[in-house]
Amino acid sequence: MLPGGLVAGGGRLCLLRWLGLRLWSRRGTLLFALLWFGSWLFLNGLVLVHRSIMSDYCTDDKSKRILQRLCLEFREGSVTGDMCEDLCVLGLVEYKHCLYYENGKKVIEARWRGNPVILKSKLENFSSYEPLGILDYQDTAEELSPLDVVFYATLEVRNSLGLAEEEEEEGGGGGNNSSLARLWGKRLKYRDKSYSRAELASLWSLLQQEEYTFLRVLQDLSTHVAKVLGSCGHFYAVEYLSAGHAWDQNIFSLEDMAAPGPPGQDRAGARGRWTTREMVHRIALSFLDMIWHFDNDFTHKLHLCDIKPENFAIRKDLTVVAIDVDMAFFEPKMRDILDQNCSSDDDCNFFDCSSRCNLSRRRCSPRRRNSNLQVICEKIFRPWFSPTLLGAKAGLPLQVELQRAVQECSETDGEGGDIHQRLLSILTRLLQEGGASGEGGGAWEEKGHAHTALNF
Ligand SMILES: *[C@@H]1O[C@H](CO)[C@@H](O)[C@H](O)[C@H]1NC(C)=O
Ligand SMILES: *[C@@H]1O[C@H](CO)[C@@H](O)[C@H](O)[C@H]1NC(C)=O
Ligand SMILES: *[C@@H]1O[C@H](CO)[C@@H](O)[C@H](O)[C@H]1NC(C)=O
Ligand SMILES: *[C@@H]1O[C@H](CO)[C@@H](O)[C@H](O)[C@H]1NC(C)=O
Ligand SMILES: *[C@@H]1O[C@H](CO)[C@@H](O)[C@H](O)[C@H]1NC(C)=O
């Protein structure tokens, strides 16, 4: 018994020593894995703590109370807006849930007359906004003519968007040749009735929110920004669109897009339906269209400095929409931001917008070096059209051409008018080819579906 056990024990010892050696040689790897696991746990913990703090504030209770306060102010007559009656009297705005709350910024999902909308305000309380100064000096707002209002509002808009007055006047800020700020003023000017105190106060609270001002100014000029549907007091409603996400290969959830045929119809039967590949190409074309418009439609170029899937969404017709515009700047403001002291080019990066360091002046060039197109190619198109994800399709000549063009585009600084044209032409041909052969998305489509199945 004993000897046998000893032998067996010796064998085990051998085995243990052998394992130990193996472990020794792998110690570095093991240590690394442990560290990695440790930091993973730590980060997860942080996220969890952060979430629970957030949810403390982003509760339904608190959100509803905020909206109740808003309605109270509406009934008192201190605020107004085209959404107020539906929200406070008719009950046509149905609260869904709180999406975000931080530092007073409030984002709520709701349904307005059956349509999903997002209600937003940078600050939860109306009283937290700066009042319009001149209201204090005048007994009634009646003396303020609509033209005065337009004047003050235009100043406020210019200020918020960083549009210098002189440039605005001579160049004409946007919409081909009329100034961006003035264009916005036109909507206000067409009324002879003077503004009530509540109207002015509400307008002012809205104008202090850069996002509102920005979206409002671009509403009629571009289809590529989220639509502002209405407002009440300091809250405004924008169309609800679900954002893209980095972890999905297709970026957007395509399943509920482009009105799929009746259920039960399989792929062969659903002729009216776009394949995933076709949809991706159409979305890519819409991205190109958006970039072209942002570069050329307004006399000041519009720079997108935070380009990532989460900041874009698509409508049902596959139009790409910029939904987070906190990091979008017109040229004058862009120049202000880039104009910094520097010791190397690395000091001249502002998120996705970068310029060069002029070493003799030790100052960054105010001119942006890269372009919206370059960053879109690098961060959106390259992952989309990478060979590994294309699978069997990757070898097709047109796909190879597309990959090359995208690669070149993501490495090309500056204007890139040619590369824009090339991408446009390749994508258009790909769409025509897809339509002609009618063979659907093939391997890629199935892969896409496997991924989008994760979207819940
Ligand atoms: C908003 O108003 C409520 C009630 O008046 C108050 O309790 C709350 O602290 C205010 N929030 C902020 C951010 O000022
Ligand atoms: C700008 O001009 C183009 C044609 O040059 C036209 O299609 C577009 O509607 C114009 N936009 C505005 C806002 O006037
Ligand atoms: C815009 O430009 C056209 C021609 O360049 C000119 O006729 C028109 O008056 C301009 N409009 C404004 C509002 O400046
Ligand atoms: C930038 O550099 C100038 C002199 O080169 C200096 O006077 C200025 O204070 C610097 N500004 C900042 C923000 O460091
Ligand atoms: C750097 O600034 C100086 C002085 O403004 C200018 O003469 C020079 O051309 C600039 N250099 C570059 C590379 O832009």
Looking at all shown ligands, the one closest to residue 358's CA atom is 5
CA 310 to chain centre: 5
The two counts, helices (H) then strands (E), for the chain are 18, 13
Other C-beta atoms lying within 10 Å of the C-beta of residue 393: 17
What's the number of CA atoms in the CB half-sphere (13 Å) around residue 190? 4
d(CA 209, CA 429): 42
**Alpha helices (H) in 270-356, listed in sequence order:** 276-296, 331-338
Higher pLDDT, 411 or 147: 411
pLDDT mean over 425-434: 91
Q: What lines the ligand 5 site, CB under 6 Å?
A: 358, 360-361
Beta bridge partners of 98: 108
Closest ligand 5 atom to residue 359 Cα is: 1
Q: At 152, is the pLDDT very low, low, confident or very high (cuts 50, 70, 90)?
A: confident
First-to-final CA distance of the chain: 62
CA atoms within 13 A on the CB side of 78: 14
State how far the Cα of 429 lies from the Cα of 414, in Å rounded to an integer: 26
Rounded to 5 degrees, φ, ψ at 311 are -95, 5
Q: What is the pLDDT of residues 79-88, one digit of tens each?
A: 999 999 999 9
pLDDT digits (tens, 9 = 90+) for 228-276: 999 999 999 999 998 888 877 778 887 766 544 444 444 444 445 678 8
Higher local confidence (pLDDT), 309 or 169: 309
How many CB atoms sit inside 10 A of residue 91's CB? 8
Q: Is the CB of 296 under 6 A from ligand 2?
A: no
Q: Which residue has the CA at smallest separation from atom 11 of ligand 5?
A: 358
pLDDT at 55: 53
* pTM for the model: 0.76
Q: Closest ligand 3 atom, CA of 178?
A: 13
pLDDT reported for residue 119: 96
Query: Phi and psi dihedrals of 263, rounded to 5?
Result: -60, 150
CB neighbour list of residue 357: distance below 8 Å, 6 or more residues apart: 342, 343, 344, 345, 347, 348, 363, 364, 365
Q: Tell me, what's the pLDDT at 263?
A: 46
Average pLDDT score over the chain: 79
Q: Give the Å distance between the CA of 301 and the centre of ligand 5.
A: 23
The 10s digit of each residue's pLDDT in 45-63 is 666 666 555 555 789 999 9
Say if residue 183's pLDDT is above 70. no
Cα(328) to ligand 2 centroid in Å equals 22
User: Which atom of ligand 4 has the smallest separation from the CA of 362?
Assistant: 5
What's the one-letter identity of residue 158?
A: R
Residue 426 pLDDT grade (very low, low, confident, very high; cuts 50, 70, 90): very high
In one letter, which amino acid is 224? H
Where on the phi/psi map is residue 355: left (φ > 0), alpha (ψ -120 to 50), or beta?
beta
Going along the chain from its start, the domains and CATH numbers come out as: 46-131+219-240 (3.30.200), 132-218 (no CATH), 276-452 (no CATH)
For 381-391, how does the pLDDT look when each residue is reduced to its tens digit (9 = 90+)? Answer: 998 888 776 66
Residue 206: is its pLDDT beyond 90?
yes
pLDDT category of residue 190 using cuts at 50, 70 and 90: low
